[in-house]
Amino acid sequence: MELISKPVSLFKSFFMGGFECATHYGQRRLRLDLLAATGHDRFAALDYARLHQYGIRTVREGVRWHRIEIMPGHYRFNETLPMIRAAEDMGMQVIWDLLHFGYPDDVDPFSPAFVKGFAAFARAFIHILRNETDSVPFVTPINEISFLSFQGAEVGTINPFTSGRGSALKVQLVRATIEAMEAIREVAPRARFVTAEPLFNAVADNDDPQAIAQAQAYSNARYEAWDMLAGTLRPELGGAPGYLDILGMDYYPWNQWIYVSDHEAGKSLRRDDPRYIPLHRLLGLVYERYQRPLLITETSTEGDARADWLDYVGSQARLALQAGIPLEGVCWYPIVDFPGWDNDRPCQTGLWGLCNEGGERPVDQALAREFTRQAALLQAVTYPQV
């Protein structure tokens, strides 16, 4: 087996930065716009320059549909173009989220018009992007189909604030993703797609076979959106293997827990709990099922635990690569601190904090040191050429 000094990647950097770009209505029934709240929409060029200092050349960004489609079928990209141009000027590779939980006020996500309208928006965006850059576009059509359908339509804590209709919304989001991919490919045939979903696992709190089976069935729901896109589940939706390209997985310290019910998560598992499945093994399960390139599209934690969590994720990434799993990168998300969705508290997740009026951000020194260390560890390890 030939060995190489670093993993071959689709992306400019293995470690990436993600900018919080949620635009949904939260529990307070107020529209969120985290790109604006963090100042990133105004200071993208400065933020990219900061990322360059740590060798980060790939980012996740959001395209704010509700601010772009000013009336049905009429689009205004004046706020998006400066970000596209800043990325192009700085040599930054971008994975663009087209729907990060939010959509325009006049859109009914349960309506057939939603699918067509989202596809038209995707087509309009990719036209703009292709006019500005010759680079291969990377797009996440809808971020976390599973999360939005559950929180928005099953338990109703975010838009569209309905209950018991999670399956119906998931179907709509899958249809919209497929239509958007087709629209994008008509304009940009080389486009690549990152379908980002939560990666989680639940375990039973006892040895009862029925409890174990319930927990496993719930855990398998992590595959539903991908299975629908691939056409192995609900084939009448039009899914096919070609709609699975790069599989994105969002994974946080609390993504393994004791199963209570389908609507209630129990206590989170610690990493030293024997029931906790190491991250590299979860990645292996996803790769074994789909045989697609993988990307950790979101991971982070808050406060003083940040550096330790990056240490863990970095070590697990190297184990996955050494096992021949095509893990294409790790995105720290959010890479800058942000105000909490429902209480505006300062969420200290970032490599940098919230900005001042001049766009300056304080750096978290411990996390900065860990990013530097992880980059060196990645370069020092050999991986199987597969």
pLDDT at 4 over 70: no
How high is the pLDDT of residue 264?
A: 82
Comparing C-alpha atoms, which of 377, 339, 223 is closest to residue 289?
223
Which pTM does this prediction carry? 0.95
How high is the pLDDT of residue 263?
A: 85
pLDDT at 7 over 80: no
The one-letter amino acid code at 329 reads G
How high is the pLDDT of residue 386?
A: 47
pLDDT band at residue 376 under the 50/70/90 scheme: very high
Comparing C-alpha atoms, which of 29, 106, 20, 27 is closest to residue 65?
106
How high is the pLDDT of residue 9?
A: 80
Q: In whole numbers, what is the pLDDT of the chain averaged over residues?
A: 95
301, 309 Cβ separation under 8 angstroms = yes
How high is the pLDDT of residue 2?
A: 36
DSSP for residue 335: S
Buried b (16+ CB within 10 A) or exposed e, 57-74: bbbbbbbbbbbbbeeeee
Per residue in 120-179, pLDDT (tens digit) is: 999 999 999 999 999 999 999 999 999 999 999 999 999 999 999 999 999 999 999 999
Distances in Å between the Cα of 367 and the Cα atoms of 14, 143, 338 are 16, 26, 16
Would you tell me which CATH number, out of the four given (3.20.20.80, 3.40.630.30, 1.10.10.10, 3.90.330.10), belongs to the domain 3-384? 3.20.20.80
How high is the pLDDT of residue 383?
A: 58
How high is the pLDDT of residue 380?
A: 76
DSSP for residue 41: T
Lowest mean pLDDT, pick from 118-132, 281-295, 366-380 = 366-380
Lowest mean pLDDT, pick from 12-26, 53-67, 231-245, 260-274 = 260-274
CA dist 366 and 348 (Å) reads: 13
**Long-range contacts at 3-6 (CB < 8 A, ≥ 24 apart):** 3/382, 3/383, 3/384, 3/385, 4/382, 4/383, 4/385, 5/379, 5/382, 6/378, 6/379, 6/383
Buried b (16+ CB within 10 A) or exposed e, 159-196: bbebeebbeebbbbbbbbbbbbbebbeebbeebbbbbb
The arithmetic mean of pLDDT across residues 312-330, rounded, is 96
pLDDT band at residue 353 under the 50/70/90 scheme: very high
Per residue in 201-236, pLDDT (tens digit) is: 999 999 899 999 999 999 999 999 999 999 999 999
How high is the pLDDT of residue 384?
A: 56
How high is the pLDDT of residue 52?
A: 94
pLDDT at 8 over 90: no
**3-class DSSP state of 313:** helix
pLDDT band at residue 258 under the 50/70/90 scheme: very high
Comparing C-alpha atoms, which of 145, 129, 61, 70 is closest to residue 98?
61
328, 283 Cβ separation under 8 angstroms = no
Dihedral sign of CA atoms 148, 150, 152, 153 in order: positive
How high is the pLDDT of residue 3?
A: 34
CA dist 379 and 342 (Å) reads: 40
The arithmetic mean of pLDDT across residues 12-31, rounded, is 97
Contacts of 382 (CB under 8 A, 6+ apart): 3, 4, 5
pLDDT at 382 over 90: no
Contacts of 206 (CB under 8 A, 6+ apart): none
CA dist 278 and 284 (Å) reads: 10
Comparing C-alpha atoms, which of 125, 92, 118, 76 is closest to residue 17?
92
Per residue in 81-114, pLDDT (tens digit) is: 999 999 999 999 999 999 999 999 999 999 999 9
Buried b (16+ CB within 10 A) or exposed e, 284-299: bebbeebebbbbbbbb
CA dist 208 and 212 (Å) reads: 6
How high is the pLDDT of residue 379?
A: 84
| 3-state SS string for 77-123 | CCCCHHHHHHHHHHCCEEEEEEECCCCCCCCCCCCHHHHHHHHHHHH
CA dist 18 and 338 (Å) reads: 12
How high is the pLDDT of residue 262?
A: 86
Asked, as a colleague might, if the bond just before 253 is cis with ω within 30 of 0, I would say no
